[in-house]
């Protein structure tokens, strides 16, 4: 038996409304006590005075590139990057090569994640076979193999009827469908359609491409009663559509990424492909609307859409470069800097969107909260720590970070995964 | 006080002030007479090496740059390699590094992707002259168009200039819009809404979908090539219909001012955007544009190579 005592920190667990200075006792890989605890004499002690102690963060949108592109990221390297960002649970998207569309593939993921130990890794299974959008993957097998949700992320499910059936079929396993919303016929540009694209002569990907798919998917969620989670919402109208659907009782949740609530399409003026992703960076008005959605709860979750690409592949002329940016390691710091220190969200709201909310959506009952018997995943945060993002010092195998050179305020300094201190940067 | 030129590169007219553009035009004017001499050479770029790096097919622009550099006494290398936009872009980075290793002074680059010249400017020590980056800018074409208008009409300020055609995919249009509006002209972009994005207004241009309404006001009409190779997205139903709505022909010319000037950056699709009688008629300055391109590009070479500072080294 190993005991770990985290002493004197500000215990913040928005899921159960806890916010008080106290102690947290961990025995082996479980939480033993919260608040006033009886620690054994031989417990290892971490003095968390002046720090914020929160349930381990969950990033429900990460690309780990293994199998297929392990020069860009592996399950192990991605888990390490997560741990250094205070993220203890990583939800891995299935658009690998080959895609995670079978029981065996899902199981491989679970086992590799366990081997790594730097973070809990859960795979998402494909909605459709080979992620082609044509016919349903064996969701039952994926479920048995350990898939935690279903998604064809990278693309919308092209065939509307297939998605309809997917939303219905997934109800059997009580698992959500995570949808990447972009109309494939309309979303053919390389940046947000609008004045900047026109000025730069780059092809435009209109906000409507996202909104049309969000609207379609909300209608399908309504008629099927299926559980829909919309990924990386980036436009003002998409936020509105989701807000309205929620008010009407549709079972829908959604997420926003740090780059979509921080950066605008003006960044593309540099022609630097590190600002190229899907959905693209939008207008300042969209950024404001996403922030408003985070504030009023229309947007449930903050997730990174961590998408590593090697320099050789990414550092091309803008139009030729692949989509995607890394972000699992900077998610917490960007959120604290851009949303919490600026007063857009309270610290509790921000943490809830990375703990209790994703845990609830994904059915991770033992995560995202502090209670006796729950998994001992803990993130300890220094709210005032100033640091500058250096893409080469981050722990991902890839360096395509859009926040390179930015000043941050706030950082995870200690990360505990299943009772083990995996990062200690104090 | 003499004008001080501070730019190492020419990436686009968006990044220049009205004074800087005027300075290029004035420099071009003084170099124009070189082409009238019996010995058509000046020594300003002697000992310098210019490379023409063309990743897209081009005839007149490549030739014009080559001749301009030759008349400035530079050594000129040509490198052309067609790349489809589907091909991976390593060639740009790798080629650029190789060029740097050869000690080249000026790189003239044409590339199908917007921002390609900007990336080279970040990577290399050489001066970069953008000879067209995708649909973004083609600054020397913009300059030579403006130079041609100024030579013909004596001024730019107060003129009304229509640019007609596929504005959405045109680097020539963008460079013309920036340059002309900075110098005080009114620019009207004309074409079907599928090829004339509303956001052009943010760049200072006006928009019209009816050539016939605009023609009577124009001092200059610049007819763009309808790029059939870029029409995969089906922005209009047929060339016949395009020609009927936006083609410039003798009948339509009756609506224009008698002293209007007609321009075209080439290569022309005769019978599509412009009929031969108009292209070759007495209001057309299409061939003068080509001639003026030389002086304009000589001026650009002179300025980006720091011409004035090096005068002491010249005979």
Domains plus CATH for chain B?
13-138+291-314 (3.40.50.1370), 139-287 (3.40.50.1370)
Positive or negative torsion for Cα A157, A159, A164, A170: negative
Pairing of strands B186-190, B206-208: parallel
Residues of A in contact with B174 (CB under 8 A): 199, 201
Residue A363 above 60 pLDDT? yes
Residue B111 sits at the chain A interface (C-beta within 8 Å): yes
Q: Measured between CB atoms, does A200 come within 8 Å of chain B?
A: yes
Mark yes or no for CB contact B137/A201 under 8 Å.
Answer: yes
pLDDT at A194: 97
Pair of tokens at residue A292 = 């408003």
Is pLDDT at A156 greater than 80 in this prediction?
Answer: yes
Question: Using CB atoms, which residue from A271, A312, A315 is nearest to B114?
Answer: A271
CB pairs under 8 A between A and B: 63
Q: Is A312 on the interface with B (CB under 8 A)?
A: yes
**Residue A267 sits at the chain B interface (C-beta within 8 Å):** no
* Contact status, residue B175 vs residue B141, Cβ threshold 8 Å: yes
pLDDT of residue B34: 85
CB B171 within 8 A of CB B135: yes
pLDDT in tens, A108-120: 999 988 888 899 9
* Residues contacting A184, CB < 8 A, separation 6+: A155, A156, A158
Sign of CA dihedral A307, A280, A293, A288: positive
Closest to A367 (Cα-Cα) out of A356, A354, A383: A356
B180/A357 Cα distance (integer angstroms): 55
Which residues, in sequence order, are CB contacts of A182 under 8 Å at separation 6+? A155, A156, A205, A209, A210, A213, A278, A279
CB pair distance less than 8 Å for B114 and A198:
no
- A312·B85 Cβ contact <8 A: no
- What integer is the mean pLDDT of A368-379? 96
Residue B50: strand pairing partners: B76, B106
Nearest CA in chain A to B12: A200
Given this model, what pLDDT does residue B80 score? 81
Q: Does the CB of B203 have a partner CB in chain A at under 8 Å? A: yes
User: Which tokens in the block code for residue A232?
Assistant: 């990386």
**In 10 A of CB A417, how many CB atoms?**
26
* Burial tier of A288 (Cβ tally within 10 Å: 0-12, 13-18, 19+): middle
Packed helices B60-71 and B139-153: angle between N→C axes, nearest 10 degrees: 80
CA distance A332 to A306: 13
The answer to whether A322 contacts chain B (CB < 8 Å) is: no
Within 8 A by CB and 6+ apart from A213, the residues are A156, A179, A181, A182, A183
pLDDT at B314: 37
Among A66-80, A178-192, A405-419, B98-112, the least confident range: B98-112
Closest by alpha carbon to B228, among B273, B197, B190?
B273
Mean pLDDT of A41-59: 97
Q: How many helices (H) and strands (E) does chain A have?
A: 13, 18
Residue located via tokens 């990424």: A257
| φ, ψ of residue B173 in degrees (nearest 5) | -60, -45
Instruction: Name the CA dihedral angle for A169, A175, A176, A179, rounded to a multiple of 10 degrees.
Output: -70
- The DSSP element (H or E) to which B26 belongs, if any, is helix B18-32
pLDDT in tens, A114-138: 888 899 999 999 999 999 999 999 9
A372-401 average pLDDT score: 97
* Pick from B102, B96, B95, B43: nearest CA to B74: B43
Cα(B261)–Cα(B284) distance, integer angstroms: 6
DSSP secondary-structure letter at A228? E
The helix/strand/coil state of A371 is: coil
Of A194, A197, A317, the CB nearest to B113: A317
Distance, CA of B251 to chain centre: 29
Identify the pLDDT of residue A277: 98
Mutate which of B9, B11, B119, B174 to disrupt the A interface (most A C-beta within 10 Å)? B119
Average pLDDT, whole number, for chain A? 97
| pLDDT of res. B308 | 52
CA R_g for chain A: 20
- Would strands A301-302 and A252-256 be described as parallel, antiparallel, or unpaired? parallel
List the single residue in B113, B169, B202 with the smallest CB-CB distance to A320.
B113
Are the Cβ atoms of A199 and B85 closer than 8 angstroms?
no
pLDDT tens-digit readout, A167-217? 999 999 999 999 999 999 999 999 999 999 999 999 999 999 999 999 999
- Residue A392's pLDDT is what? 96
Tell me which residues of A are annotated as active site. Answer: 305
List pLDDT tens digits, range A1-36: 899 999 999 999 999 999 999 999 999 999 999 999
Place of tokens 């250096």: A390
Name the residue in chain A with its Cα closest to that of B202.
A195
Chain A CB within 8 Å of residue B137 CB: yes
Asked if B168 lies within 8 A of A198 by C-beta distance, the reply is yes
Of A195, A197, A320, the CB nearest to B89: A320
Q: Do A271 and B90 touch (CB under 8 A)?
A: no
Q: How confident is the model at residue A333 (pLDDT cuts 50, 70, 90)?
A: very high
| Chain B interface mutation, best of A194, A271, A317, highest count of B Cβ atoms under 10 Å | A317
Contact B199 A201 (CB under 8 A): no
Sequence-distant (6+) residues with CB within 8 A of A386 are A407, A408, A409
What pLDDT score does B90 carry?
59
Contact B93, A313 (CB under 8 A): no
Residue of chain A whose Cα is closest to the Cα of B133: A201
Residue B89, pLDDT score: 54
Are B89 and A271 inside 8 Å of each other by CB?
Answer: no
Report d(CA B67, CA B62) in Å as an integer. Answer: 9
- The CA distance from B155 to B261, in Å, is 13
pLDDT values of chain B reduced to their tens digit, one per residue, 315 residues: 567 899 999 999 999 999 999 999 999 999 998 888 888 889 999 999 999 999 988 888 999 999 999 999 999 998 887 654 445 555 787 887 888 788 899 999 999 999 999 999 998 999 999 999 999 999 999 999 999 999 999 999 999 999 999 999 999 999 999 999 999 999 999 999 999 999 999 999 999 999 999 999 999 999 999 876 555 557 888 888 999 999 999 999 999 999 999 999 988 999 999 999 999 999 999 999 999 999 999 999 999 998 655 444 333
Task: Name all domains of chain A by residue range, CATH numbers in brackets.
Answer: 3-52+375-424 (2.30.40.10), 56-362 (3.20.20.140)
Cβ–Cβ below 8 Å for B88 and A195: no
How many Å apart are CA B68 and CA B31, to the nearest integer?
A: 10
CA nearest B150: which of B179, B117, B111? B179
Q: Cβ of A194 under 8 Å from any chain B Cβ?
A: yes
A361, two tokens:
């959506």
| DSSP code per residue over A32-60 | EEEES----TT-EEEE-TTSEEEEPEEEE
Write the residue in A198, A312, A319 that is nearest to B113 by C-beta.
A319
Which residues in chain B (148-187) have CB-CB distances under 8 A to chain A? Answer: 168-169, 171, 174
What's residue B87's pLDDT?
A: 54
C-beta atoms of A202 and B136 within 8 A: yes
């Amino acid at each position: 038996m190993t005991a770990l005592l985290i002493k004197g920190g500000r215990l913040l667990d928005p899921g159960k409304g806890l916010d008080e200075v106290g102690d947290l006792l961990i025995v082996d890989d479980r939480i033993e006590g919260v608040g006033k605890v009886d620690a054994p004499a031989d417990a290892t002690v971490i003095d968390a005075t002046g720090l914020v102690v929160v349930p381990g963060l969950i990033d429900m949108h990460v690309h780990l590139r293994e199998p297929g592109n392990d020069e860009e990221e592996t399950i192990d390297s991605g888990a390490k990057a997560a741990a250094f960002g205070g993220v203890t649970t990583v939800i891995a998207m299935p658009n690998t090569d080959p895609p995670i569309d079978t029981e065996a593939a899902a199981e491989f993921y679970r086992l590799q994640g366990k081997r790594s130990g730097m973070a809990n890794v859960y795979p998402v299974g494909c909605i459709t076979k080979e992620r082609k959008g044509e016919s349903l993957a064996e969701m039952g097998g994926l479920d048995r193999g350990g898939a935690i949700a279903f998604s064809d992320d990278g693309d919308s499910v092209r065939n509307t009827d297939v998605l309809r059936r997917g939303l219905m079929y997934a109800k059997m396993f009580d698992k959500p469908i995570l949808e990447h919303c972009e109309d494939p016929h309309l979303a053919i540009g390389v940046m947000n359609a609008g004045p900047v694209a026109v000025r730069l002569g780059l092809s435009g990907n209109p906000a409507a491409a996202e909104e049309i798919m969000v609207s379609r998917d909300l209608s399908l969620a309504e008629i099927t009663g299926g559980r829909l989670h919309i990924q990386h919402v980036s436009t003002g109208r998409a936020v509105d559509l989701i807000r309205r659907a929620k008010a009407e009782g549709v079972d829908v949740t959604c997420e926003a990424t740090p780059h979509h609530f921080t950066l605008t399409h003006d960044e593309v003026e540099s022609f630097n492909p590190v600002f190229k992703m899907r959905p693209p960076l939008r207008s300042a008005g969209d950024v404001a609307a996403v922030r408003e959605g985070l504030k009023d709860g229309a947007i449930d979750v903050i997730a990174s859409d961590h998408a590593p690409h090697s320099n050789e592949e990414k550092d091309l002329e803008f139009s030729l470069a692949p989509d995607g940016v890394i972000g699992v390691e900077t998610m917490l710091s960007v959120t604290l800097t851009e949303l919490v220190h600026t007063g857009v969200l309270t610290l509790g709201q921000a943490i809830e969107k990375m703990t209790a909310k994703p845990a609830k959506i994904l059915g991770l009952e033992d995560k995202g909260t502090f209670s006796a018997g729950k998994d001992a995943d803990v993130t300890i945060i220094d709210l005032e720590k100033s640091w500058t993002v250096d893409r080469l010092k981050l722990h991902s195998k890839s360096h395509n970070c859009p926040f390179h050179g930015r000043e941050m305020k706030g950082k995870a300094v200690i990360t505990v995964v299943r009772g083990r201190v995996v990062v200690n940067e104090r | 006080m003499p004008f001080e030129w501070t730019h190492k590169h020419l990436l686009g007219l968006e990044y220049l002030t009205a004074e800087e553009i005027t300075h290029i035009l004035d420099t071009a004017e003084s170099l124009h007479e070189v082409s009238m001499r019996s010995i058509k050479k000046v020594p300003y770029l002697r000992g310098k090496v210019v490379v023409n790096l063309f990743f897209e097919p081009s005839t007149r622009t490549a030739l014009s740059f080559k001749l301009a550099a030759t008349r400035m006494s530079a050594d000129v290398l040509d490198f052309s390699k067609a790349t489809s936009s589907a091909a991976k872009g390593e060639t740009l980075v790798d080629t650029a590094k190789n060029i740097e290793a050869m000690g080249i002074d000026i790189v003239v680059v044409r590339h199908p992707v917007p921002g390609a010249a900007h990336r080279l400017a970040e990577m290399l020590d050489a001066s970069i002259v953008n000879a067209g980056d995708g649909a973004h800018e083609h600054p020397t074409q913009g300059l030579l168009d403006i130079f041609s208008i100024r030579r013909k009409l004596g001024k730019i300020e107060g003129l009304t200039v229509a640019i007609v055609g596929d504005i959405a995919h045109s680097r020539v249009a963008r460079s013309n819009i920036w340059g002309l509006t900075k110098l005080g002209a009114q620019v009207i972009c004309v074409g079907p809404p599928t090829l004339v994005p509303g956001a052009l207004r943010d760049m200072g241009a006006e928009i019209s979908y009816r050539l016939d309404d605009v023609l009577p006001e124009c001092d200059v009409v610049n007819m763009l090539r309808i790029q059939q190779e870029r029409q995969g997205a089906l922005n209009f139903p047929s060339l016949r219909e395009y020609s009927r709505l936006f083609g410039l022909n003798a009948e339509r010319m009756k609506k224009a001012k008698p002293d209007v000037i007609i321009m075209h950056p080439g290569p022309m699709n005769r019978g599509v955007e412009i009929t031969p009688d108009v292209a070759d008629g007495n209001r057309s300055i299409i061939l003068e544009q080509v001639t003026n391109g030389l002086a304009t590009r000589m001026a650009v070479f002179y300025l980006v190579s720091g011409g004035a500072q090096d005068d002491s080294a010249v005979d």
